[in-house]
Chains A and B, each alone.
Chain A
């Protein structure tokens, strides 16, 4: 209850500061709309079904991209953490892929993979992959060496060591990567839509900004993305609390 009250107070302070800024500077709505203008536009966009139509598409891209990106990142991160040879072979490619601006690569990925949902999910997964893979690798290597020795002395197989010791002990670090990854998934979905899509919040931003010159609608789409990011981040934190032990 107290946490909710704090969050609501923080939101109220943010909206007030925003309102004061627009009022004091006299900035026109087409540059920075006041919060009540955005709110009124949001009500219309929800009422017409426009917002949900685009949100549903982006949400599905985010969830699929996150699932594909996180699953492959945890698998690759585990392999990297357990084998120095694999790390030496794969690391340059992983770092190179992370260093290339996905915004530049996305249009090509869109063409290579046929421009549908698959292409957008892959672009999203690519953005999500790096922080989770690196967090997993670090987490796997942070397993208590004494416990590793104990597992060995008790005759545990490599698979048993991985599933019963290394992954559970890596969970707090993996969840750290997931916290970053989940917010990047939101950005990834928008980047993917900007590379080629007919619907989604990224498309709505383009339509509102460049097509309709409707700045309040653009802010509605941005706020929706922020809400999705906050919601998914909260979900990850909630799962983390259930699965990991806190001192």
Chain B
């Protein structure tokens, strides 16, 4: 008998041993779902990491897989049922819903619109009407940055042609501002100002909240899922609100969860904590949908022709899910 054949029973025994070993089985069968997050792994996604690691999702009967997708793909994948949940800009929900993509916004993550116009201290106008002639860097004619910029210009009685727009589709507008190619940039007020200040630039912000209120990013689901399993969507939204509250009470908890999920975030813990602290200030604490802000944002997007009004604003959200205690 060949030596190789002699080894076969041993290999078989090892395989049986491996497969027969007791594996941990959850006491409750959890439902497998997928959550899609836009952009890239970041400390701002700490609530999702915490909900996963602290068992908030498990308490809701869910085993959540987190994936990262481009914003436009995210919307389509959720609508098509290839992922159950997503995080998206409310303004994008309005536009995609109008374009026939059947998603609904079910819970608010950001009470304050996170995008602002950012520039060197003393160079940022206090009123949008003073933006005429200014060079502004923005990723492109899409997404929350573009919507915020257009809303601000509109509030100031200005059109796109009244300013000089320079596009940075790779989101490298910070480089453009530091390089002096533009006077102001659009950016997330919980992120870019900190990055610029780390580079030695003291900055001022022009935010949209008081000037042209727009609803912030939140959780989205497909119409189909909402119709078939609203209870699951409610449980998921509750788990996120639980995580938002826990991190607001102790940001270090969120940072630890983010570092455990993405160790690279811990490379500069102080900056990551500063970003998280700034982010917490923008978060909703109950997930409730502010219908007044949605109505105002809808009217702004309609006036700017981002949407045509064919889908009413109340068909874009599901307030029954949001803010459930």
Binding site for B on A (CB under 8 A): 28-31, 106-107, 110-111, 114-115, 193-198, 203, 206-207, 209-215
Contacts and interface: CB of A to CB of B under 8 A. Distances in A.
B59 interface: no
A212 B146 CA distance: 12
Interface of B: 70-72, 75-76, 79-80, 92, 95-96, 99-101, 140-143, 146, 165-170, 172, 175-176, 179, 181
A107 B76 CA distance: 27
The 4 closest A-B pairs by CB, nearest first: A211-B142, A210-B142, A213-B96, A107-B170
Given A30-B79, A30-B101, A111-B179, A210 B143 contact: yes
Nearest to B70: A210
B99 A111 contact: no
Contact of B181 (A111, A195, A203, A211): A111
A197 B138 CA distance: 11
B262 to A, nearest CB: 21
Nearest to A214: B99
Nearest to B73: A209
Contacts of A206: 140-142, 169
Contacts of A197: 167, 169
A198 B79 contact: no
A30 B142 contact: no
Given A107-B168, A107-B172, A207 B142 contact: yes
A196 B142 contact: no
A31 B72 CA distance: 11
Nearest to B164: A198
A114 B180 CA distance: 11
Contacts of A193: 169
A198 B165 contact: yes
Contacts of A29: 100
A209 B142 CA distance: 9
Contact of A213 (B72, B80, B146, B175): B72
Contact of B75 (A28, A111, A213): A213
A31 to B, nearest CB: 6
10 contacts: A28-B100, A31-B76, A111-B181, A115-B181, A207-B142, A210-B71, A210-B72, A211-B141, A214-B99, A215-B76
Nearest to A107: B170
A121 B70 CA distance: 27
A44 to B, nearest CB: 14
Nearest to B147: A211
Contacts of A198: 165-167
B167 to A, nearest CB: 5
A213 B140 contact: no
A206 B146 CA distance: 12
B40 to A, nearest CB: 14
